[in-house]
Amino acid sequence: TLGPLVAPGTYTVKLVADGRTLTEKLTVLKDPNTTGSEADVDAATKLSLSIYNDANTSVRLINQLEWTRLQLQDMQKMLKAANADKSLGDSVMDLDGKALAIEDQLLQRTVAEGDLKSFRGPLQLYLKFVWLGAEVGSGGADVAGNPDFPPTQSEIDVYNLLHGQLEKAQTDFNNLYSQVVPAFNQTMQQKGMERLMTVQVK
């Protein structure tokens, strides 16, 4: 999708180049060919921005989980090469499973495998936000979009449902990195093994 369009209004545009900052006022007008009011466009824009922000949050969580799982794969190889205690390998697999369970809430595995057009499983949060954003906003793929009119009650209800599911995934994510990963690292450190690096993706 193209992302949200701005609502009609007056904005300040800032350009920073070669150490200089230039600002200029910019007025965005409503499309004169649409029957939607400025209030309609504003309502669509606000929901579009909320959807866009939640889609980006989903991506940040997915990326951090992927970095963690990649480290765990490497860690598993090192443990095998060092002929380490089986319990350590089991701990790595357990943590990987917990990370994957959170990622499964955000992105279906067929997409993670690179199969963007697979319908072998239901869409998960990230793509649900993408398609909802296309419906409410400026469209995408075979979705026309509807940025000049207020979102329907169904679109608002779906967004609220998805946002609640994202909050649950975020809570699970926070618990993983604030409690589960530190406990895992303590165990690995006590056994003289490498700790898991937590990479915060922005």
User: By CB neighbour count within 10 A (0-12 exposed, 13-18 middle, 19+ buried), where does 140 fall?
Assistant: middle
Q: What is the pLDDT of residues 53-74, one digit of tens each?
A: 999 999 999 999 999 999 999 9
Domain encompassing residue 153: 9-190
With the C-alpha atoms ordered 57, 60, 63, 68, is the resulting torsion angle positive or negative? negative
Residue 185 lies inside a defined structural domain of this protein: yes
Q: What is the pLDDT of residues 103-144, one digit of tens each?
A: 999 998 876 565 555 566 788 999 999 999 999 998 887 788
Residue 200 lies inside a defined structural domain of this protein: no
Please give the model's pTM, rounded to 2 decimal places.
0.87
Domain count, the chain: 1
Residue 57 lies inside a defined structural domain of this protein: yes
pLDDT value at 40 more than 60: yes
Residue 2 pLDDT: 66
